[in-house]
Structure 1
Amino acid sequence: MGKVDESVNQTDEVDAATGSQALTILIHTSKAMRPAPRGGATLSVPVLRGRAEELATYLKTLSVRQLAAVMEISPELADRTHGLFADWGTDPAQQSPAIDSFAGDIYSGLRACDLTAADRAYAEGRLRILSGLYGILRPHDGIQPYRLEMGYRLPDPPYANLYQFWGDSVARRLPSAGVIVDLAAIEYNRLVTRFLPRDRFVSPRFLTMHPKTGEPRFVVVHAKIARGAFARWLLSARVENPADIVEFAEIGYRYEPALSKPRQPAFVCKEFEGKGLSVRLHDLG
């Protein structure tokens, strides 16, 4: 059962007002989620929860058939998704911290479960999670399981286009100055990149050497895990200076100057050392 700490909700307003120069780390949600644990975690309230409640209230009105069509999923999965929205609410007893709620590959790299208490406290001021339903989340914001990707086209205005629904409200919740390390997928980072100067963003690229050709290539699963590992490293190493970003050397990756561009540092691994969701589940089984 979660406990709400209302005092935590002042931090975003303070950051935005002071124009903090600290690094801000952006990641996004995953479709795969964990059930809310039966624990005593102290939860904060999402800063855009009012808008999330409005959106969730609308989603509750959609039928299983409509959800299947909009999300292009099977009737069985649509039925489960319909149940998630039916059960969705704001009771902390049914919620878990956002940082612990997702199970996709980026979260395989983040490994939130074994971050230290000090790391998690530090993450509160640095890490932000972009979400189709909640807009933007801090690590310990309380959330419930749901399924809603930014790219979905819902049947009715003003919800048909989620980018229009959220407008600039997500971008306004970020600090007004400082570097943003963008580790989010394009469909999510559009929530903020449309409204903020380009020179605020650093967007790392992660490549894997092809075993036969010896050429670096983009491997989707590897890159997702690497983004999570990069976010974890920024937090655990307390990286504050953007110039230090090139020191990243986790799960086999090393900085590659020849492939890098301004504000797009490239990291290449010869042998990928990360573990994806399927591998981790196998290890646990």
Structure 2
Amino acid sequence: MRIIISPAKKMKEDLDGLPPRELPTLLGETERLLDYLKGLSLPELKKLLACNDQLSQLNYQRFQTMELRQRLTPALLAYEGIQYRYMAPAVFSERALDYVQEHLRILSGFYGVLRPFDGVTPYRLEMQARLKTPFCKDLYAFWGGKLAEALAPDGVVVDLASGEYSKAVIPHLPAGTRVITPVFGELRADGKVVEKGVHVKMARGEMVRFLAEGGVEDPEDVTAFEGLHFRYCPQRSQPDHPVFLRDVEKR
């Protein structure tokens, strides 16, 4: 079973904590992207990243001076988004760390696919960035089937990534691969289930923690998740789309 999650825009260096174990599998492709990004002017990079002046300047300097083989942080500890805060990998047990190294994969527009202890450096490059180059029309075309191949699914993928990232992998998975996509929502008065972005990110992080600390190997056990007042609703679920409803009265 493989679990896929998205990266986060905000990143940090942590050179004093747990050391990285390996370099990213697709680092050769990352080097190719880096060479192109280094050749962009500051205005060109700002347009590509669609961010403000401060972030544009920061990431321009990052790309100009970037080293991909030194001063690295384990990917799991480098990202700081909501999903990662609720996952709280810094306080994982040894058992949980071993579990995520085996089962969890982080998708990235810059690195492709990352194992939790692959060494990375801070960057900004979203998968949906309009990166049109002489060698690709966008990042989806650039990565093609490489992400699915590097993911090496063993029959089951639990998709906890955003659509921006999961669509870079799911269409390229081997035939017969089962994809389980949990839904985290609230039941409205009209009977519809509505997903709210922040709560979804929080729940995805909590679910990774649940799977890791429990050492879950059977994909059917995903439905036992009850974090953040979410509970499995079999009446609204399908075999590969388990629905978890949030009890808003217990917030």
Work out whether the TM-score is over 0.5.
yes
Q: Is the 1:129–1:138 Cα contact (8 Å) retained in structure 2? A: yes
Does 2:24 match 1:46?
yes
The Cα shift of 1:118 comes to: 1.9
Q: Provide the residue aligned with 2:244 in structure 1.
A: 267
- Distance in 1 separating the partners of 2:178 and 2:222: 14
Q: Provide the residue aligned with 1:106 in structure 2.
A: 83
RMSD of the alignment, in Å?
2.0
Q: Is the 1:181–1:201 Cα contact (8 Å) retained in structure 2? A: yes
1:148-192 deviation digits (Å, cap 9, x = unpaired): 000001242224411111111111112353210000111111221
User: Taking structure 1 as the reference length, what is the TM-score of the superposition?
Assistant: 0.82
**What percent identity do the matched residue pairs reach?**
34
Q: Is the 1:208–1:222 Cα contact (8 Å) retained in structure 2? A: no
| Equivalent residue in structure 1 for 2:53, among 75, 80, 102 | 75
Query: After TM superposition, which residue ranges in structure 1, 4 or more long, deviate above 6 angstroms?
Result: 212-215
The gaps in structure 2 that reach 5 residues or longer are none
The gaps in structure 1 that reach 5 residues or longer are 1-22, 275-285
1:223 partner letter: V
Does 2:38 match 1:60?
yes
2:60 partner letter: H
- Distance in 2 separating the partners of 1:79 and 1:272: 45
The Cα shift of 1:216 comes to: 4.2
The Cα shift of 1:61 comes to: 1.0
| Equivalent residue in structure 1 for 2:141, among 129, 154, 164 | 164
Cα–Cα, structure 1 residues 262 and 122, in superposed 2: closer, same or farther, change >3 Å? closer
1:144 partner letter: T
- Distance in 1 separating the partners of 2:65 and 2:236: 47
Q: Is the 2:6–2:106 Cα contact (8 Å) retained in structure 1? A: yes
- Distance in 2 separating the partners of 1:69 and 1:136: 25
Q: Is the 2:155–2:177 Cα contact (8 Å) retained in structure 1? A: no
Does 2:178 match 1:200?
yes
1:95 partner letter: L
| Equivalent residue in structure 2 for 1:132, among 109, 116, 119 | 109
- Distance in 2 separating the partners of 1:254 and 1:40: 34
Q: Provide the residue aligned with 2:6 in structure 1.
A: 28
Q: In terms of mean alpha carbon deviation, does 145-154 or 259-268 score higher?
A: 259-268
Q: Is the 2:159–2:182 Cα contact (8 Å) retained in structure 1? A: yes
Q: Is the 1:36–1:144 Cα contact (8 Å) retained in structure 2? A: no
Q: Provide the residue aligned with 2:100 in structure 1.
A: 123
- Distance in 2 separating the partners of 1:226 and 1:175: 25
The Cα shift of 1:105 comes to: 1.1
User: Taking structure 2 as the reference length, what is the TM-score of the superposition?
Assistant: 0.92
- Distance in 2 separating the partners of 1:173 and 1:272: 42
The Cα shift of 1:198 comes to: 6.7
Q: In terms of mean alpha carbon deviation, does 220-229 or 193-202 score higher?
A: 193-202
1:79 partner letter: Q
- Distance in 2 separating the partners of 1:101 and 1:134: 13
Q: Is the 1:24–1:181 Cα contact (8 Å) retained in structure 2? A: yes
Does 2:145 match 1:145?
no
